[in-house]
Amino acid sequence: MTAAPDDPHRRCFLRAGALVSLGAALPAAAARGQASPIARVRGGRVAGQTEQGTHVFRGIPYGADTAPRRFQQAALEAPWHGVRDALAYGSAAPQTSGEGPGSEDCLYLNVWTPALRDGGRRPVLVYLHGGAYNNGSGSDPLYDGGNLCRRGDVVVVTVNHRLNVFGYLYLAGLGGDAFADSGNAGQLDLVQALQWVRQHAAEFGGDAGNVTVFGQSGGGAKIATLMAMPAARGLFHRAWTMSGQQVTAAGPRAATQRARKVLEHFHLHDPQALRTLPMEKLLEAVKLRDPSWVEDTGLYFGPVLDAHHLPVHPFWPQAPVQSAAVPMVIGNTHDETRAFLGHDARNFELDWDELPAKLEKEQFVDLLPSVVIAAYRRMYPHYTPSEVFFASTTAGRSWRGAVEELEARARQGAPTWAYQLDWYDHGGEAERLRAFHTLDIPLVFHNTHQPGSRTGSSASATRMADAMSDALLAFARHGDPGQGGLPHWEPYSLQRRQTLVFDRDSRLQDDPRGGERRLYAQVPFVQRGTS
């Protein structure tokens, strides 16, 4: 799904774990008398640390504090004198999740590299975090780039940027040109981070001409949007998205309607007054009820079709022309919605009488539940009502955007590969959640032993991490995800819809879940929250 919010309790736990592990590492390095690796960046010199042979720099600024330029494109970071420590992660963006409240001084990135200034011209992999456009940061332990860096001899970068009301509140419709950047400020932060990567790739042993962006959920959606932004043209050369799509952006009328709700909440008439509200006060806007949704759901924030920074919808009515030559992988997990609908035990005990009302609320498309249920009972007669519920909500509200993007790229003739993660470690809780949303993160990073990973630590999990991380590394190095441990992975076409199914017996399959795809193709697709 494109923008599933991360669980705040999980985030708080992971953040605490990251800080504890980092704090434990620093005294040990100092006790051994290791020399700190020093990198020279445009702001000055930074001192990192060496972990298992990898040089790690955390919390490097790529922009200035955004508070003085709230709702505007960020300024560059101020230079500093001497050597700045790059040992701890920078602040997360303002948010209401477990990583909050955060700080408007949040433009920081983190780098893992095998070597500095050695002319290595390694592929550079830049990860954009999930958490919709609302929460998250680049410092989750699951995003630690050390294992990927060592496995593939690559440079790995993770990024923080502005989110929610600070990054995507469109005020130009109410405040004019002074707010021209407001609806896409968070995306402009990512453009600035990628410019920083291009400028400093050689310093960190990387190749500025071979940059792969990869991201899951909201991170994948941000990548899809960057592919249609003129300012991002040429800043990356490959794109790998996981369970994250952005087919349509918010239209200016809908985005202005949401901005008006924010002003009304604070009893304000002039958007300028929002510039000086305390950060914590402004965060209240995240919890306002969105006017376009039936249920009580927080205000949608995401990229805006502003005719300037984002002049076209990312993937409608066609794939972005400017990125037609950029190789792209588009993937999803088989059981996406078990991640956010599987927390309610009642969803595993549904009967056929209860199912229609549940689907009416959760499938996100205007298709008669009776039609959906009848189709699933024909396709999968052995499915229980709960299995129909999870399968149909995944196909109708999560996977559908991936199909739209794949079809648009195929019509364009752009080099594109599709995958579906079916694998999960059988037994216990894994049987309930199966291949849920986010399961592929620790697999592509080869971080199955990190805090927060729910892959399990079996030999099967290790083999799947080997396969998925090696496919990502092959894609970053060669622009083709096929590699020795997988079946031949053919590009996606409309004729066959070739998809690499990652499982215990990984296989290339034509049009997996084709019946489900055809079922939901009966209704138009508009990305939820963008109307």
Distance CA 187, CA 352 (A): 44
Give the residue numbers marked as catalytic: 217, 336, 437
How big is the chain, counted in residues? 531
Alpha carbon distance 238, 473 (integer Å):
11
Bridge-based pairing of strands 83-85 and 328-333 is: unpaired
DSSP assignment, residue 398? Answer: I
Residue type, 350: L
Of 448, 446, 451, 436, the closest CA to residue 471 belongs to: 446
**Maximum distance among all Cα pairs of the chain, rounded to whole angstroms:** 69
Is the CB of residue 348 less than 8 Å from the CB of residue 382?
no
Helix pair angle (369-379, 385-393), 10° resolution: 110
Task: Reduce the DSSP state of residue 50 to 3 states and report it.
Answer: strand
- List beta partners, residue 93: none
**To which H or E segment does residue 409 belong?**
helix 399-412
Burial 451-478 (b: 16+ CB within 10 A, else e): bbbbbbeeeebbebbebbbbbbbbbbbe
> With the CA atoms of 517, 402, 400 and 10 taken in that order, what torsion angle do they form, in degrees rounded to the nearest 10?
130
In order, the DSSP letters of 413-479 are T--EEEEEE-----STTHHHH-S-TTTHHHHHTT-TTSTT--S-SSHHHHHHHHHHHHHHHHHHHHS
